[in-house]
A = this chain, B = another copy of it.
Amino acid sequence: MGIIVQKYGGTSVGNPERIMNVANRIIATKEKGNSVITVVSAMGDSTDELLALANAITKNPSHREMDMLLATGEQVSIALLSMAIKEKGYEVVSLTGAQAGIYTDNTHKKAKITRIDNRRLKKEIDAGKIIIVAGFQGKTESGEITTLGRGGSDTTAVALAAAIKADVCEIYTDVDGVYTSDPRLVLDAKKLPFVSYDEMLELASLGALVLQTRAVEYAKQHNVKVCVRSSFNNNEGTIVEEGSVMEKIRLVSGVAHDLDVAKITIYGVPDNPGIAGNIFRGLADNAINVDMIVQSNPRGSINDISFTGHNEDKDKAMEIIDKLTPQIGSEGVKVRGNLAKISIVGAGMQSNPGVAASMFEALAKAGINIELISTSEIKISCILELEKAKIAVQVIHDKFKLSEIED
């Protein structure tokens, strides 16, 4: 009993039959006495179809017009889902992002939500209606249609939950929740009943794409309780919320992996100010995403700088570094592709020394060499050979007894 915000992705509303299924889920939630606000994405491939149309006209479409175009995808979904709910005899109203009071800045294609005017939402809730909101979109103060970019619909759901003080924001996806590791890689991976915002942030940024980083950040900032669960069954899912209980219990919540890693090491870099800035500005200007950066100082005033990125970017990155070499005065550069990044995440590790050591021991025992290490307060990442990745995940998962987590 309360206010529940739900979000369903494009696959869940991919055809009329699935839309009817989602309608049934919404109605079941309503029937339990809850007020329901549901956020939906565009149907299945419809966004790709719109992009193909635009692509047939121009290779360089105006961002404003792209938003005008893409926003129609979610508008179709909300209309159809509302019809399905109405067909079953329930009062319902669909709202575009603009109608739902979602205001954004002017950055077309990746607008940020600036405020939510919740009056319309409150009015419809008070009238007892189920509300269906178009995800991924909003409007500027001057009435332009904007889209929120990657992860937009998750963010819409969390933002609405915050604006309406919902009891929970349920994110429906094609997996049961957040796992201790990828279940396709680690057979005894367990679903986590709870994770903290920070753990979820690290897991999301490490490739556990059940929930967009941006939505987690928004949830953390506004203290929105999020539940990640499957739209194909009634399992309980994973609750994402602030909480100290589980941090004490669990040192490590999960093992994440990224199987597309290349490493570049620039060695013999003079220890002058501004050199790192030069290097990474050069890479950024060429749209090369850099993940980990590690600087070590093996020989006093001479540094080695290593960074990782995607395999596909490594040649271009080398080109850029080669050009910069005279300017930075480095001795040389080495590149290595086909690596993997294995990370452990756990809010508990902040206050528990020895977690890193345990991870390294597990890898050493399995004969796996570590190429690079990087740590944050609640995460430890190791770069290692791609072919060792699967066994690495398994031994770490075993080491921290993650298969014994109670669901």
Q: Which residues of A contact B (CB under 8 A)?
A: 16, 19-20, 50, 53-54, 56-58, 60-62, 64-66, 68-69, 71-72, 75-76, 78-80, 82-84, 86-87, 93-94, 96, 98-99, 143-145
Chain B residue nearest in CB terms to A144: B99
Expressed in whole angstroms, the Cα–Cα distance for A59 and B64 within the complex equals 36
Chain B residue contacts of A76, Cβ below 8 A: 50, 53, 69, 72
Are B99 and A57 in contact, CB atoms less than 8 angstroms apart?
Answer: no
Are B53 and A65 closer than 8 Å at their CB atoms? no
- Can you give 25 A-B contacts (C-beta < 8 A)? A16-B53, A16-B57, A54-B80, A54-B83, A57-B83, A57-B84, A57-B87, A58-B86, A60-B87, A61-B83, A61-B86, A64-B93, A64-B94, A65-B82, A65-B86, A65-B94, A66-B79, A68-B79, A69-B79, A71-B75, A72-B76, A96-B145, A98-B143, A99-B143, A99-B144
Q: In the complex, what distance in Å separates the CA atom of A72 from the CA atom of B144?
A: 16
Are A83 and B65 CB-contacts (below 8 A) given A53-B16, A57-B16?
yes
Residues of chain B within 8 A (CB-CB) of A93 are 64
Within 8 Å CB of A54, what residues of B?
A: 79-80, 83
Interface of A, helix, strand, loop or mixed by DSSP: helix
Taken together as a complex, chains A and B put the C-alpha atoms of A58 and B80 apart, in Å, by 9
Contact of A58 with B83 in the complex, beta carbons under 8 Å:
yes
**In the complex, which residue of chain B has the Cβ closest to the Cβ of A74?**
B72
* Most B Cβ at <10 Å: residue of A16, A50, A60: A16
- The interface residues of chain B lying within 8 Å CB-to-CB of A19 are 57
Output the least CB separation between A85 and chain B (Å). 10
Residues of B close to A98: CB separation below 8 A:
143
Whether A65 pairs with B87 at a CB distance below 8 angstroms is no
| Residues in B neighbouring A145, C-beta threshold 8 A | 96
A54 to B87, CA, bound (A): 11
> Could you tell me the distance between the alpha carbons of A83 and B19 in the complex, rounded to whole angstroms?
32
Knowing that A58-B87, A71-B75, A72-B76 touch, tell me 7 more A-B residue pairs with CB under 8 angstroms: A19-B57, A64-B94, A65-B82, A68-B79, A69-B76, A72-B79, A75-B75
| A118 CB, min distance to chain B CBs, angstroms | 15
Q: Which residues of B contact A65 (CB under 8 A)?
A: 79-80, 82-83, 86, 94
* Complex CA distance for A50 and B58, rounded to whole angstroms: 25
> Which of chain B's residues has its CB closest to A86's CB?
B62
The smallest C-beta distance from A89 to any residue of chain B, in angstroms, reads 11
CB-defined contacts of A78 to chain B, threshold 8 Å: 68
> Of the candidates B61, B64, B66, B84, which one forms a contact with A58 in the assembled complex, judged by CB atoms under 8 Å apart?
B84
B residues near A53, Cβ cutoff 8 Å:
16, 76, 80
A266 to chain B, nearest CB (A): 41
A-B pairs with the 4 shortest C-beta distances?
A69-B79, A16-B56, A72-B72, A68-B79
> CA–CA, A267 to B137, complex, Å?
63
Residues of B within 8 A of A99 (CB): 143-144
- CA of A75 to CA of B68, assembled, Å: 7
Q: From residue A100, how far is it (CB to closest CB) to chain B in Å?
A: 11
Q: A19-B57, A20-B57, A53-B76 are in contact. Are A83 and B71 (CB under 8 A)?
A: no
Q: Which residues of B contact A144 (CB under 8 A)?
A: 99
Report the minimal beta-carbon distance from A249 to chain B, rounded to whole angstroms.
46
